[in-house]
Structure 1
């Protein structure tokens, strides 16, 4: 795990602000309400004065976290922060904040023994930092997964939207026409153009596109629009019947004014097999 990079959301500006504010709030609540390790006996003062003193101490001590996270924010933009480096970073935050609280304690109470004061400060600082850090990192991870899931859904919706629309480009690769999949009928080669036949408000409509049927066949690969003849491609979503006559095989779309589309021998076996497989 030493070589793994920490997620970028940990040192995002908004999350750093949340972490600092929530850590300060938690520290104030933790010290003033729960009074761990008899913290109320640190200074012989009233409850109100204890709240004022502890608030000042906590908020001043949180400056260590503020400075640390600002450095992390700019450092993370240019360098990789590994999990082991991040763990060491938090240990240093605890150390320097504990050192600050120890100095503060010794200034107000010179009779306190240094190692004892530092040990007590380190224990309380660890609780003050590690508890909110753990909760906030779980929250950040949850929000990041939620964001990624939303992006995935949007991406899938976008892909689905593109799949439901056929876009046609001319020989200069400029978009000329977009047709809903359910409205496209067939393509017909006409010299240097391709006639795109589709339904527009229920009416049979033709659009002339300057391009080749071969190019459109490549563009429409992996779709249900298949080449069935040298001069035709058909949207098989619209095909209702394959009919064999003496003079050849034809596709019926079952739409008024739409002619039967011939299938040449070159494509007959492939198209028939695909139609039978698709229909089943």
Structure 2
């Protein structure tokens, strides 16, 4: 499975999924108000007080609930597994299908109960019409949101990270000590740590945990709001190597790479740090990097 086949993590974060649902809801509502007068099978009404307006609000709430539950499930799945682009597309089509089925059933039951104006139309035709409508009203905001998040992610990658020597208030050293400077998503400098003191970086949703040794040799952890992907892309060519969906290790600290029944593990040779797993996606790169060390 190539990395390019996977949905970027910036599309499945909690903030991104919430924003996508809100944007899709607002876009769909405006789209409905604009196009409903021209479609015979659309009975939505918001401007007047009555049973139709009430049913419109109830159905809108149901549609938002479907989207919310769907995105919550996607978030949970993405935390444990990689989601491919083809999976994401079918997931979105599944959302549209569920809402379309709900609309068709809602409409026919409302017509039978007399709370929705009578329409002579079958369940299948209602479903297919609603499906086409949903593909447009959900697909457009999904694409726009994905484009926005991609641009935002690229800007963060360019702006939030730098690698190399920087000016500090430390005493001059006889050897060049590379510094890792870490910024949060707002662009604020949060941590400057010597590469020689950094052990690994761990992903925790939209945050990262940086594990390093202070001047007294104590292992410490620092958390900031930043994506692991941003760190990976910003420090290409350094000693920081991605070995897992959740981990980046400082290869200068790697003592051994060991095969276990579940795959390879990295030992950083420091008490208090458990062996770090190597996923199959990064296995070849990690082994090549380890075997090429002098």
The CA RMSD over aligned residues, in Å, is: 3.2
- What is the CA–CA distance in structure 2 between the aligned matches of 1:133 and 1:151, rounded to whole Å? 26
- What is the CA–CA distance in structure 2 between the aligned matches of 1:48 and 1:40, rounded to whole Å? 20
Residue number in structure 2 paired with 1:24: 25
Residue 35 to residue 161, structure 1, CA distance change in 2 (3 Å): farther
- What is the CA–CA distance in structure 1 between the aligned matches of 2:171 and 2:45, rounded to whole Å? 79
- Cα deviations by residue, 1:121-158 (Å, 9 ceiling, x for unpaired): 11111122111111111111111111111123xx14x6
- Kept in 2, the 8 Å contact 1:20–1:65? The answer is yes
Which one has a bigger Cα radius of gyration?
A: 1
Residue 150 to residue 100, structure 1, CA distance change in 2 (3 Å): same
Query: Where does 1:101-112 land on structure 2 (aligned, <5 Å)?
Result: 101-110=103-112, 111-112=120-121
- What is the CA–CA distance in structure 2 between the aligned matches of 1:24 and 1:43, rounded to whole Å? 15
Q: Offset at 1:56?
A: 2.9
Q: Where in structure 1 are there 5+ consecutive unaligned residues? A: 171-280
Query: Where does 1:7-46 land on structure 2 (aligned, <5 Å)?
Result: 7-35=8-36, 37-38=38-39, 42=43
- Kept in 1, the 8 Å contact 2:44–2:53? The answer is no
- Kept in 2, the 8 Å contact 1:2–1:82? The answer is no
Query: Where does 1:110-125 land on structure 2 (aligned, <5 Å)?
Result: 110=112, 111-125=120-134
Residue number in structure 2 paired with 1:94: 96
Residue number in structure 1 paired with 2:70: 68
Q: Where in structure 2 are there 5+ consecutive unaligned residues? A: 113-119, 176-294
1:58 aligns to 2:67 (yes or no): no
TM-score by length of 2: 0.50
1:35 is paired with a residue of what secondary structure? helix
- What is the CA–CA distance in structure 2 between the aligned matches of 1:47 and 1:75, rounded to whole Å? 42
- Kept in 2, the 8 Å contact 1:106–1:114? The answer is yes
From 131, 137, 148, the counterpart of 1:128:
137
Residue 161 to residue 71, structure 1, CA distance change in 2 (3 Å): same
- Cα deviations by residue, 1:250-276 (Å, 9 ceiling, x for unpaired): xxxxxxxxxxxxxxxxxxxxxxxxxxx
- What is the CA–CA distance in structure 2 between the aligned matches of 1:45 and 1:75, rounded to whole Å? 36
Residue 134 to residue 45, structure 1, CA distance change in 2 (3 Å): closer
Residue 168 to residue 60, structure 1, CA distance change in 2 (3 Å): same
- Cα deviations by residue, 1:158-197 (Å, 9 ceiling, x for unpaired): 63437x9883279xxxxxxxxxxxxxxxxxxxxxxxxxxx
Residue number in structure 2 paired with 1:175: none
Q: Offset at 1:41?
A: 5.5
- Kept in 2, the 8 Å contact 1:24–1:59? The answer is no
Residue 41 to residue 75, structure 1, CA distance change in 2 (3 Å): closer
TM-score by length of 1: 0.52
Query: How many residue pairs align between the two structures?
Result: 167
Q: Structure 1 residues 110-119 or 83-92, which shifts more?
A: 110-119
Residue number in structure 1 paired with 2:172: 167
